[in-house]
Amino acid sequence: MVVAIIGNLLGTVYLADTLTDGLLTSVLTALLLWVGAVVISGAEAVLLRTESARRLNMVRNNAANIRAVTGKLVRFAAIALWAVYTLSGFRVLDPVAGFVVKLFKFKIPLGSLSFSPLSIVSVVIAVWLIFKISKLVRFVLETDVMSRVDLPRGVPGTISKITHYIILLIGFFIVVGMLGLDFGKVAIIAGALSVGIGFGLQNVVNNFVSGLILLFERPIKEGDRIDLGTTSGVIRKIGMRASVVETWQGRT
């Protein structure tokens, strides 16, 4: 504002007008977004206290965590909108947007393929979203779906892990498609890798297959007490590659 006043006194009216409009737009947008965020937070708090919402286990037991996550999303959206309106107020949105588009569309050759910063960022975001979606789906399944169904012990954990790996598999094909890779070439590479894995990582493959057998056939389940050679204890976790047993002395 000081620079705008000095520019106006020196006769640079356009500069003064641009700075004033940008400052007022930025302040007003920030104020409105802050009010909107407060209203959304209050509405969410009221909604989570309703009888319908309290019937859900994930709301009843994790209301604070839900509000924390949605609060982060609202703040991120508010900051992004504030930045866009501020740049527009200072009349530099179009050149900044054009520069960012050119920067992200810059091609990086790599053999017969070419990548751009946009594709790399998109893949990173896609991978992050896939893991977050998997975590959210497993959270809903474990807290509100499987807890309401009478399932044998060990089945909920199996369903949760299988769901996780199915989502990751679907995400893998999505990421491969985003990168523009040929599925035929990917299959050839996977075949070559499988031969190398067969020779060099036999124990890992054996453990992986054993994990599948434990998850699907469930000869043992989480919470079972077992004797394994000289070790005895309780099974705490059954994973795809490794399982955890806690001994009576508290060691794992």
Q: Are residues 146 and 159 in the same domain?
A: yes
Residue 121 CB coordination number (10 Å):
11
Spatial distance between the Cα atoms of 241 and 252, rounded to a whole number of angstroms: 16
Domain count within the chain: 3
List the domain range (segments joined by +) for residue 141.
107-181
Could you tell me the two tokens for 191? 């075949």
Give Rg (Cα) of the chain: 27
Q: Are residues 19 and 80 in the same domain?
A: yes
Q: Do the Cβ atoms of 19 and 4 come closer than 8 Å?
A: yes
Domain boundary among 131, 152, 181: 181
Q: Are residues 45 and 25 in the same domain?
A: yes
Domain boundary among 156, 181, 206: 181
Confidence of residue 231 (pLDDT cuts 50, 70, 90): confident
Question: What pLDDT, in 10s, does the model give residues 9-49?
Answer: 777 777 788 888 888 999 999 999 999 999 999 999 899 88
Confidence of residue 234 (pLDDT cuts 50, 70, 90): very high
Helical spans, DSSP H, in the chain: 2-10, 13-48, 51-54, 57-89, 93-104, 117-140, 155-179, 183-200, 202-217
Q: Are residues 155 and 214 in the same domain?
A: no
Greater confidence (227 vs 3) lies with 227
Question: Is residue 213's pLDDT more than 90?
Answer: no
Q: Are residues 156 and 225 in the same domain?
A: no
Q: Are residues 10 and 91 in the same domain?
A: yes
Q: Are residues 122 and 74 in the same domain?
A: no
Spatial distance between the Cα atoms of 169 and 173, rounded to a whole number of angstroms: 7
Q: Are residues 2 and 12 in the same domain?
A: yes
pLDDT of residue 233: 93
Question: Is residue 140's pLDDT more than 90?
Answer: no
Spatial distance between the Cα atoms of 28 and 85, rounded to a whole number of angstroms: 10
How far, in Å, are 96, 106, 125, 165, 174 from residue 118 at the CA level? Answer: 16, 8, 10, 27, 16
pTM comes to 0.67
Compute the average pLDDT of residues 195-222: 77
Question: Is residue 113's pLDDT more than 70?
Answer: no
Domain boundary among 71, 104, 137: 104
How far, in Å, are 28, 138, 250 from residue 162 at the CA level? Answer: 49, 10, 29
pLDDT of residue 245: 92
